[in-house]
Chain A
Amino acid sequence: MNNNWILILGASSDIAIATAHKYAQNGYSIYLCSRNIEELKKEAKNIEIRHKVNVSVLYFDALDYESHKEFYSDLPVKPKGVLLAFGLLGEQGTQQKQFELAKSVIDTNYVSAVSILEVVSKDFEKRKSGFIVGISSVAGDRGRSSNYIYGSSKAGLSTYLEGLQHRLCKSNVHVLIVKPGFVATKMTADMNLPDLLTAKPNEVSSAIYMGIEKKKNVIYVKQIWWLIMLIIRKIPNFIFKRMSL
């Protein structure tokens, strides 16, 4: 076991848990952070027994910006890496009708991320080491009528992470932007997703681990998504507007 810790924010998501296992398997100790501590305690034990590493479960509320500084400074051991895995999808239709719902998507996916990652970045910059992984989305690559509120919040996140990449590369801190495409998780359990385009959480976690090892800047988990999004971005507006996507 090495003495490295990874801080996982939004640890109840399937991608987060798969990534926790991946890093634990590679000797990392794990901070699992979420609002649902009870659920996570079982998972913590599971990771501890399977991989013989330390796992610590911490309360973290992404939307409670005020708490972020203290949350981070209270960590007994500062992490080598951070995985930002929290996010809110919701439903575009209702978000158009109720601004409060739209706002909570933007607040969760974008504002919270900026709030906590600014705190983390400051520390990593000072220590001149570390890595940050942000789970963004292909939905942020081009606005579409079916999910532009979620999409724009992820576009904001992607651009923010790009900026961090630019700022922190000088301090030997690596930032990885992950755009998973479809993933078979709790969040998408009700959707009928095409197999070819859908990754499993453990494929995402392996891609993340390799992405960090190989110092990648942006990864699409299933390569085909890179191509799909390239095409979608290149479709001229006069055609794009007539498509229902």
Chain B
Amino acid sequence: MTNKNKVKISGWGGFPKLMLDLINVRNEKHLKIITSSIGKFITRGNGRSYGDSSLSSICVSNIQNNKILEFDSKTGVIRCESGVLLSEIIEIFVPRGWFLKVTPGTKLITIGGAIASDVHGKNHHKDGCFSTSLIEIRLMLSDGSIVNCSQQECKELFLATCGGMGLTGVILEATFSLKSILSQNIKQTTIKTKNLHQTFDAFEKYADATYSVAWIDCLSKGGSIGRSLLITGEFSDDRDLSYSSKKVVSVPFNFPSIVLNYFSVKLFNALYYFRAKQGVSHQNVGLDSFFFPLDSIDSWNRIYGRNGFVQYQFILPKKESLEGLTKILEKISDAGLGSFLAVLKLYGKENENYLSFPMEGYSLALDFKIQKGLFNFLKELDQIVLEYNGRIYLAKDSRVGKSVFEKGYPNIEKFREFRKSQGMKEKFTSLQSERLGL
């Protein structure tokens, strides 16, 4: 009845890779049987978290349950099952003038995953995390019972579930609101800066932009440390809603690990930086290129080779950001371990959810190909993050130590106690939750 399949899978970073049992949930009745008849497991969506958040010796996938159950075309409120992908919502509703209130940098994640990681996007400073758009979650708990939770109802469960990495139950359905848009195009502004100071100033100057993010050259040295392209955007009002998903090209195989080295990455970064016009420039782009540039390359994670990569994402409180980031960027540049996908962003206010990542401050995300010495190097970065009272993002993580992790999350004990008291600890576990004692 629970028909397990042995499969070898990993998160998006390709590390760690694990032989495990994968069970595909057919419907709620089936899930109830699974929950009561097998031991510990973790729910898995589209497998786009980078590390080990959705890995366990038994994984339960709810991705086949992807029905849209209700949609109110006046208010933009939608109710759907948790296996629906953000890309489906976009394809269906953008032509009707609706878009996600909050979307991360990939649309290839499920609604369940968006809630479990309480994802955020380029508008965090204005609109917060995905949970801001949430009205209600329908969840199966460890005893197989089904409950609804929201800001009003079973609030503790709601706060623990948003950002709770699937550790409170299996998300079955969600009700959330979309935002109305007039166009599928984005008016984009690119601001080229010469160093970290200028980058910070630019973020402050463009704080009113709805969407903003900076691509940062993390291999630049000396006076140009932190040189960036700050990219901001607003939905256009040109009434063009003729959206169709961008064509996808594919990385057909794992690149040999030599392809990405210090010189190739440095060259790429320099070219990318110099290609942009000096000062401030304006572009008109489709929403796929603006929000999801990497989704148009299928399996882009393969460029890091067979051993995979780590995406290291941390955030520092605003007032300590400049000093902390300078220190970290110097360290990365000295070690020559940088990546070409370093993303810097200024975040808005922290929410109440126990394990949500964002706080008011600057976050930096970088990809590192897994190679000798990397993990020790990241431990050194961890120490700097701690020194400046920062935290590490669970959805990206596959290696952080317990003591480093918990210092960054002041509500961690609340989360742990809640899990314990509700019997969740005996049912929902991932490699990550075991490593971090969640």
Contact = CB atoms under 8 A, between A and B. Distances in A.
Contact of B92 (A39, A42, A50, A189): A50
Given A50-B92, A189-B3, A45 B68 contact: yes
Interface in B64-113: 67-71, 92
Contacts of A169: none
A46 B3 CA distance: 27
Contacts of A186: 26
Given A42-B67, A46-B69, 15 more contacts: A42-B69, A43-B67, A45-B67, A45-B68, A45-B69, A45-B70, A46-B67, A46-B68, A49-B68, A49-B92, A50-B92, A189-B3, A189-B24, A189-B26, A190-B3
Contacts of A50: 68, 92
A1 B24 CA distance: 34
Nearest 6 CB-CB pairings of A with B? A46-B67, A49-B68, A49-B71, A190-B3, A46-B68, A189-B3
Interface of B: 3, 24, 26-27, 67-71, 92
A179 to B, nearest CB: 25
Interface in A7-24: none
Nearest to B24: A189
20 contacts: A39-B27, A42-B67, A42-B69, A43-B67, A45-B67, A45-B68, A45-B69, A45-B70, A46-B67, A46-B68, A46-B69, A49-B68, A49-B70, A49-B71, A49-B92, A50-B68, A50-B92, A189-B24, A189-B26, A190-B3
Interface string A33-45: 0000001001101
Contacts of B26: 186, 189
A49 B89 CA distance: 11
Contacts of A46: 67-69
Contacts of B27: 39
A190 B2 CA distance: 9
A46 B26 CA distance: 16
A137 to B, nearest CB: 22
A245 B244 CA distance: 47
A49 B93 CA distance: 10
A39 B71 CA distance: 19
A184 B178 CA distance: 34
A45 B72 CA distance: 12
Nearest to B65: A42
B312 to A, nearest CB: 35
B31 to A, nearest CB: 14
A189 B2 CA distance: 9
Nearest to A45: B69
A189 B67 CA distance: 20
Contacts of A49: 68, 70-71, 92
Contacts of B70: 45, 49
A42 B68 CA distance: 8
Nearest to B71: A49
A190 B67 CA distance: 23
A39 B29 CA distance: 12
A186 B347 CA distance: 45
A42 B27 CA distance: 12
A21 to B, nearest CB: 11
Nearest to A41: B69
A89 to B, nearest CB: 15
